[in-house]
Amino acid sequence: MNQPLTQNSVRDAVALSHQIESLLVQRNLRGMAHVRDCMLPGYCLRAALMLQQASDTVLIGTGFPVAGTFETDGPVGAISLYQALDATGRNPVLVCGDPLASVLEKDYRVERLPLNERDAKVRLQQADDILAKHQPSLVISIERPGQSDDTDYYNMRGESIGQHTASFDEIMHQAGCPTIAIGDGGNEIGMGNVRPALKSLDIKAAVTRCNELVVADVSNWGGHALVALMGWLNGQDLLAEFDNTAVLTYLSERGSVDGVTRRNELTEDSLPASDGQELLLALRRLTEFA
């Protein structure tokens, strides 16, 4: 498509976005269906339009620390976004801390974040330096821990993970360009947009906000959904070549673990790789590419 939307195509786009938003939370694994009910519908389309309109560099923050390493949820969706943006002429850069940064930098453009920097002024300066270096037209956070009210970071069990976390929050705050966040539990960057809806969840909620929030049962799936919608807007099947199992295998061979089971296996939040592949097929069918 990649041209101004007509009145009819706007209706089609909004209807498609609503279908995808429903698909992403149909299992309601961690209460995101309830959160979705409190959000303005069409958020997937609005986020996909931000992707489509990005002019050059896009920063993609990802990586959630689990058991001394990184979890599979987040990096898979980040790689999906990276590949789609790269294929459409943008300059994506993955922004993460170690050990994920060291894992990815051999195959992708990576900006490394320092772990456990407690000085707020230092974090702000680091964020400003990264933004000045890359001058992004869009910043995306996918399954990044978000600061809580006490500025610490917490996992789904309510355990502090600040010691192992690289802060991406300041980059979101200082971006000076549109920001998208994708999350699945309430403790991720962007969930500050829906704080009232998180009160019923057993989670230490994040307070960092974004311009457009996307919620999903698995954050990776939210990344795929935006790729699917951007492809639909462009008239391209940007998910055709994405192999969920292959990307999970790539990460597993480099030390990833499932965020729920904490085991090194080809799963996303305890769900088998085949579930992710089925979700990709469903997105391609909704966008009429399969």
- Asked if pLDDT for residue 7 goes beyond 80, the answer is no
The model's pLDDT over 190-205, given as tens digits with 9 standing for 90+, comes to: 999 999 999 999 999 9
- Across 52-204, where does the E strand assignment appear? 57-62, 65-66, 69-70, 91-97, 110-113, 138-142, 179-183
What's residue 36's pLDDT?
98
* H-only helix segments in 25-161: 32-37, 43-53, 75-87, 100-104, 120-134
Q: What are the structural domains, with CATH classification, of the chain? A: 7-286 (3.90.1640.20)
Residue 1 binned pLDDT confidence (cut-offs 50, 70, 90)? very low
* Nearest of 1, 133, 135 to residue 55 by alpha carbon: 135
pLDDT at 251 over 60: yes
What band does 8 get if pLDDT is binned at 50, 70 and 90?
low
Give the tens place of pLDDT for each residue, 39-93. Answer: 999 999 999 999 999 999 999 999 999 999 999 999 999 999 999 999 999 999 9
119 pLDDT above the threshold of 70? yes
pLDDT above 90: residue 263: yes
Averaged confidence pLDDT in the chain:
96
**In the predicted model, what is the mean pLDDT of residues 97-114?**
97
